Amino acid sequence: MTENSSTAGETGLPASIEAAWGLRDRPVKGPKPGLSLDRIVAAAVSVAASEGLSAVSMGRVAKELGASTMSLYRYVSAKEELYVLMQEAAMGAPSPLPAIEEGAGWREALSQWAWAQRRVFHRNLWALRIPIAGPPASPHSIAWWEQGLQALEDSGLNEGDKISVILFVGGFVRNEALLMSDLAAAVEAKGLSPQEVMAQWERTVTRLVDPVRHPALSRLMASEVMGEPDEADYEFVFGLERVLDGIEALIRKGAPS
């Protein structure tokens, strides 16, 4: 890999992403002995996991490695490119889905695919803050899409609808994980338990709602359902099942009568 190794190759991808695909050799040495693309990515992930994505910068990663900021640019050309590699490292390759191997059908396969993504996001909540700059183009992100499409193999959907379903389900998983992450951060900032925060919110809203102006919300608060404990992962289970119901309705609509 030469000094201009960060330039795009025939694929149009940055050299570091081509290296992830095995289309280019990874650099084995740089200005500082032992510096490598893998070490740079690992250091960046470590910073993001402990301090949040906003703490990641080329300078901060270089400091973590005991290297100069400029030395990092031999391996990765910009922070946005580093983000892609960090996400690639965090997501990893998807594990085989039992439903696909056992022929359990598209609904169970897609459900397992969604749950697998959710587990990855919950282990790497910082990755949810990475801006989406375009369709997936790194090896692991492509592998996740491939697996999602395979889950829909027996659905009868056309190829265009399949990719729309993948975007729909993936978006639901991402949004739910991000929402839960934000709520957890808010609870932690208050220094209270989730139950205490909910009780506090209920008392506040009960005082504020007016049965005339907010009849629906007033009925909700009077029902005391907000104070009832939910089963583990209830909102995700409920939401995913409704998403799958909608996809099933789409499939039935397109099925020959």
pLDDT in tens, 88-129: 999 999 999 999 888 899 999 999 999 999 999 999 999 999
Summarised one tens digit per residue, pLDDT across range 181-199 is 888 788 778 887 777 888 8
Question: Residue 205: pLDDT band by 50, 70, 90 thresholds?
Answer: confident
pLDDT at 25: 65
How do the domains of the chain map onto residue ranges?
15-90, 98-191+224-254
Q: Do domains 15-90 and 98-191+224-254 have the same CATH topology?
A: no
Question: Residue 7: pLDDT band by 50, 70, 90 thresholds?
Answer: low
Q: Does domain 98-191+224-254 have CATH number 1.10.357.10?
A: yes
Mean pLDDT of 172-180: 92
pLDDT at 5: 45
**CA-based nearest residue to 71, from 169, 3, 143, 158:** 3
CATH annotation of 15-90: 1.10.10.60
Mean pLDDT of 29-53: 84
Lowest-confidence segment of 57-61, 65-69, 100-104, 143-147 by average pLDDT: 100-104
Query: Tokens representing 155?
Result: 């659905």
Per-chain mean pLDDT for the chain: 86
Q: Would you mind telling me the total number of residues written for the chain in this entry?
A: 257
Single-letter amino acid, residue 100: I
Mean pLDDT of 191-209: 83
Mean pLDDT of 16-38: 69
Q: Please state, as a whole number, how many other Cβ atoms lie within 10 Å of the Cβ of residue 173.
A: 23
Question: Residue 8: pLDDT band by 50, 70, 90 thresholds?
Answer: low
Query: Tokens representing 225?
Result: 């359902």
pLDDT value at 13 more than 90: no
Question: Residue 242: pLDDT band by 50, 70, 90 thresholds?
Answer: very high
Q: Name, of 21-30, 84-93, 130-139, the range with top average pLDDT.
A: 84-93
More confident call, 223 vs 213: 213
